[in-house]
Amino acid sequence: METTLRGVGVSHGVAIGEVRHMGTAVLEPPARQIRPQDAPREQARARQAAEAVGADLNARGQLAGGEAQAVLEAQALMAQDPELLADVDRRIAVGSTAERAVYDAFASYRALLAGAGEYLAGRVADLDDVRNRIVARLLGVPMPGVPDSDEPYVLIARDLAPADTALLDPALVLGFVTEEGGPTSHSAILARALGVPAVVALPGAGELAEGTVVAVDGSTGEVFVEPSRDKQAELTELAAERKAALAASSGPGATSDGHKVPLLANIGGPADVAAAVSAGAEGVGLFRTEFLFLDDSARAPSQEKQVEAYRQVLEAFPEGRVVVRVLDAGADKPLAFLSPGDEPNPALGVRGLRTLLDHPEVLRTQLQALAEAAAGLPVYLEVMAPMVADRRDAKAFADACREAGLAAKFGAMVEIPSAALRARSVLQEVEFLSLGTNDLAQYTFAADRQVGAVSRYQDPWQPALLDLVALSAEAAKAEGKSCGVCGEAAADPLLACVLTGLGVTSLSMGAASIPYVRATLAKYTLAQCERAAAAARATDGADEARRAAQAVLSGE
């Protein structure tokens, strides 16, 4: 029987497919005694599971090739280590179940590795992964991490961290549904970057049985469970109609009376460039460089590796603007070698620019790599810092850029209310502002952007957030400088009109949203956008603000 669940739609389009769950951490199997006559059967089960996991890791290694192959083959050897397996046998012989014996044998080996010097200690995570895989197989539960599937699927997760999503194969993921997260969580951002439909903040999503067919409407936030054939056909047709309407819009972003608002793309690296170009992005408004750092959490990528990645992006927009954000580590994007692990409240701790000012060598290498990558290219390079709180932060960043010999415009992200309130003072040090509305909402409303229970505060239509946007845009205008938006607010077509009316000078978003924003902006004049912005700011809540803007724009 078809049922309908409702969450928050964060990435447009319709996905229909079978559900696969992101495997969660494997729980400790209970310590249960088996009968002596059952021991041989349990020993055989344990060996078969270890063999299957080893074979699977080798097969994945062959598919992956390169450095990943070496890591996966080393893990396969761990799964089949004769001493470990002998230890498992011994534990079963004295009464353990297969899963408990594997769990305990790996635990004692783990303690040995952890105390055996830096290199081997670094392999502990690989060993844990092997243990989890064998235990999951024995318990018949999903493997931890990204689902193993050769068929495309709808991914269900509690939430997705950047480290999980780096392993996703975009060819297999039809769409996402998460229990947690709000419109600005990383699951939502990634879904938009991949151009797949997504619904977040859907309580109960975790209870959908593996293999259930669902239809996800990322525009309305609806998830239809076991949809009828008629429903599937209706949704597919609707999605095709919406797409066709969009394909009709092209060219630079502008209001109907020709007020230009460049539409730029948010990217995480060279892999996102093709989608940005094909969506007609006029440049890049936010290059989140931290994704380059996630491959190896033990050290920063070398200057050469960074130059290569930056060059690939800069070359894709020969005459366009590319705004690169320096590393934003910490809080929801921790990096082991930079982020303090013992902060009581990481979102309010050492993150973003604060981390870089504590590690000037990492900032210097990144700025020098950017200077080298841009040398000789006709691109308009702009570099900005995340989490700028005040003029002193802005000056420290601008000084570092100058010292690195960077021929670029330096800017500050406005993500902390203090920077919006004192935007003119920040602008004494930098040449542009870029509003990170995701964090700006988080810090304005004291609501963690990763927690589904407080997702209502993450709604960028909140009038308090609109006020801070207006303050920043007015300050930039008074200083003769630019003020863009690169947070997810820019991806909402109606809100994009309101932001334009507030005086924002460019909008940057996941490539998949560009056609929607372009088409909507082209329908209204700048004066209409200004009236919609004033109407939204005059309300006391996000829903009212949305309705007020809608009423002005539709001429009610």
Binding footprint of ligand PEP on the chain (CB under 6 A): 286, 288, 328, 415, 436-439, 486-487
What is the distance between the alpha carbons of residues 251 and 530, in angstroms, rounded to a whole number?
A: 23
In terms of DSSP H, where are the helices of 332-427? 353-358, 360-374, 391-403, 417-421, 423-426
Residues 295, 163 contacting (CB under 8 angstroms) = no
Residue 425 CB-density burial (10 A; 0-12 exposed, 13-18 middle, 19+ buried): middle
Binds 470: which of Mg ion, ligand PEP, none (CB < 5-8 Å by kind): none
Sheet holding 173-178, edge to edge: 3-6, 222-225, 213-217, 14-21, 153-157, 173-178, 198-200, 8-11
Least separation in angstroms between CB 549 and ligand PEP: 20
Binds 133: which of Mg ion, ligand PEP, none (CB < 5-8 Å by kind): none
| Closest to Mg ion by CB, 130 or 383 | 383
| Closest to ligand PEP by CB, 227 or 487 | 487
Residue 373 CB-density burial (10 A; 0-12 exposed, 13-18 middle, 19+ buried): buried
Query: How many Cα atoms occupy the beta-carbon half-sphere of 342 within 13 Å?
Result: 0
From the list 302, 305, 430, the residue with the least C-alpha distance to 362 is 302
In terms of DSSP H, where are the helices of 115-206? 117-121, 124-139, 162-165, 186-194
What is the distance between the alpha carbons of residues 49 and 290, in angstroms, rounded to a whole number?
A: 37
Least separation in angstroms between CB 328 and ligand PEP: 6
In the structure encoding, which two tokens stand for residue 186, read together? Answer: 């990383």
Instruction: State yes or no: is 359 an active-site residue.
Output: no
| Closest to Mg ion by CB, 42 or 439 | 439
Least separation in angstroms between CB 8 and ligand PEP: 16
Least separation in angstroms between CB 230 and Mg ion: 43
Least separation in angstroms between CB 415 and Mg ion: 5
Site of tokens 């549904």? 177
Identify the active-site residue in 21, 359, 483, 486: 486
Report if residue 175 touches Mg ion, rule: CB under 5 A.
Answer: no
Least separation in angstroms between CB 288 and ligand PEP: 5
Q: E strand or H helix at 549, and its extent?
A: helix 542-553
Least separation in angstroms between CB 295 and ligand PEP: 18
Radius of gyration of the chain measured on its C-alpha atoms: 25
In the structure encoding, which two tokens stand for residue 517, read together? Answer: 């924003």
Binds 286: which of ligand PEP, Mg ion, none (CB < 5-8 Å by kind): ligand PEP
Q: Closest residue (Cβ) to Mg ion? A: 439
What is the distance between the alpha carbons of residues 555 and 1, in angstroms, rounded to a whole number?
A: 41
Phi, psi of 380 (to 5 degrees): -95, 95
Identify the active-site residue in 186, 401, 483, 529: 186
In the structure encoding, which two tokens stand for residue 151, read together? Answer: 């068929």
Alpha-carbon separation of residue 362 from 270, 314, 369 (angstroms): 21, 21, 11
From the list 383, 548, 522, the residue with the least C-alpha distance to 466 is 548
| Closest to ligand PEP by CB, 288 or 391 | 288
Least separation in angstroms between CB 188 and ligand PEP: 10
Least separation in angstroms between CB 191 and ligand PEP: 13
In terms of DSSP H, where are the helices of 454-541? 463-478, 493-501, 514-521, 526-537
User: In a 3-state reduction of DSSP, which class is residue 268?
Assistant: coil
Site of tokens 């392993």? 167
Binds 288: which of ligand PEP, Mg ion, none (CB < 5-8 Å by kind): ligand PEP
Q: What DSSP state is assigned to residue 523?
A: T
Binds 514: which of Mg ion, ligand PEP, none (CB < 5-8 Å by kind): none
- Which parts of 390-429 interact with Mg ion (CB under 5 A)? 415
What is the distance between the alpha carbons of residues 8 and 455, in angstroms, rounded to a whole number?
A: 9
Instruction: State yes or no: is 186 an active-site residue.
Output: yes
Binds 81: which of ligand PEP, Mg ion, none (CB < 5-8 Å by kind): none
Q: At what angle do helices 526-537 and 463-478 cross, to 10 degrees?
A: 130
From the list 421, 447, 436, 425, the residue with the least C-alpha distance to 348 is 447
Over the window 432 to 471, marking each residue x when it contacts Mg ion by CB under 5 A and - when it does not, the resulting string is: ----x--x--------------------------------
Number of residues that bind Mg ion (CB under 5 A): 3
Give the binding site for Mg ion (CB under 5 A).
415, 436, 439
Q: What residues act catalytically?
A: 186, 486
